[in-house]
Amino acid sequence: MQNFLDPAILFFVFGLLAGTVRSNLEIPPAIARFLSLYLLMALGLKGGFALAKSGLDAEVAVSLACAVVLALVVPAMGYLVLKRCLSRFDAAAVSATYGSVSAVTFITAVQYLETHQLAYGGHMAAAMALMESPAIVMAVVLANMARQKEGTAHGTHKVGLRKVLHESFTDGAQLLLLGAMVIGLITGEAGQKSMQPFSGDLFKGMLAFFLLDMGLLAARNIGALKGRSPWLVGYALVGPLVHAGLALALAAAVGLSAGNGALLMVLAASASYIAVPAVVRQAIPEANPSLYFGMSLGLTFPFNILLGIPLFVSIAERVL
C-alpha cells in the first residue's frame, strides 16, 4: 500500500485514469523524449558516483554475468512457449520484447529502493544496458530462420546481423546511460556534489512527470489486446513473474545482495516498449506491432510499476 502513496506512482495511476476516460491530456513527444534522456543521464551519473565509492569488486562481475545469462535465457524460453500459439514471426517479436528491459521500470525500482533505504550497486545500471541488445539479435536470427524454413519471399526484409548489432550498440539512449556512468565514475565525490541539483533534487519530480506520460500511453494501448487469446494476456502477466523467479534463483545461487537481487528481478520481469519495438518493426515487418507493443506497455508495464516492484523487493529482502 505504501507504494501507491508515492507521488510518482500516483501520477502514473492518474495518467492511467486520464487515458481510460479518453482525456485530451497529453505530453508533447519532444518533452517526453527529453524526460527519458534526462532520467537515463541522471541514472548513469548516480551509478557512476556509486561505483566511484564502492569500486569494482567480485559482486560487480557476478551481477553483470547474471544479467547476460538472463538476457539469453528469457527470450529463448519465451520463444519456445509463444510459438505454440503465435506465428514464428510474432513469437520472435514478443520474445524479444520480453527478453529486453524497460529503463523506466528499472529507474522506478531504483527510486523505490532509495526511498526504502535498501542499498544497491551502481553497476546495476550497466547490467540494464547489457540486457537490452541480446534479445534483439536473437529475434532477428529467429525471424531469418523462419523465413528460410517457410520459404517466404521476404528477401527485401531480411536484415543482416551487422546492421542490427550496430543499431543496438550505438543506440543514443544506451550510449548516454553508459557515458554518464563513466563520467560519474571519473569525477567521483566532487562530481556528485556539483551535479546534486541535477541528478538528485530534480530526479523524483522528473520521474513523476514521465510516469504521468507512461500512464497515458499504457491506457491507450490496452485496447490493442481486445479480442486476443487469453493465453497472451496470461503471458503478459505471468511471464514476468516466472522471469523474476529465474532471476531470484540465480541471485541466490551466486550470493547477490538483496538490493542487487531485487533489481535483477525487476530487469528480468520488465519488457521493452521503446528500443525493441523500434528495431523489431523494421527487422520483422511480418510481426504485428500492436501485439508486442500492447502486451508490454498495456499490461506488463502497469503490472510491474504498481505491483511487481514492491513484490520483488519484498521477496528479495526475505530470500537474499
Q: Contact 176/168 with Cβ under 8 angstroms? A: no
Please write the tens of the pLDDT for every residue from 52-98: 887 778 888 999 999 999 999 999 999 999 998 899 899 999 999 99
| DSSP for residue 273 | S
CATH of the domain spanning 28-214+228-319, picked from 1.20.1530.20, 1.20.1250.20, 3.40.50.300, 1.10.10.10: 1.20.1530.20
Closest residue by Cα to residue 109 from 221, 237, 244: 244
Residue 285: predicted pLDDT: 84
Question: Domain ranges in the chain?
Answer: 28-214+228-319
pLDDT digits (tens, 9 = 90+) for 270-303: 999 877 777 788 778 888 888 888 899 999 999 9
Numbers of helices and strands, H then E, in the chain: 16, 0
Residue 124 pLDDT > 60: yes
Q: Would you state the pLDDT for residue 192?
A: 92
156 has a pLDDT exceeding 70: no
Residue 183 pLDDT greater than 90, yes or no: yes
Question: For residues 11 and 207, is the Cβ–Cβ distance under 8 A?
Answer: no
| pLDDT exceeds 60 at position 190 | yes
What is the reported pTM? 0.88
- DSSP letter at 228? -
Contact between 237 and 40 under an 8 Å Cβ cutoff? The reply is no
CA angle 200, 201, 204 (to 5 degrees): 85
DSSP string, 107-169: HHHHHHHHHTT----TTHHHHHHHTTSHHHHHHHHHHHHHHHHHT---TTT---HHHHHHHHH
**Whether pLDDT at 155 is above 50:** no
Higher pLDDT, 214 or 224: 214
On average, the pLDDT of the chain sits at 87
In the predicted structure, residue 167 carries a pLDDT above the cut 70? no
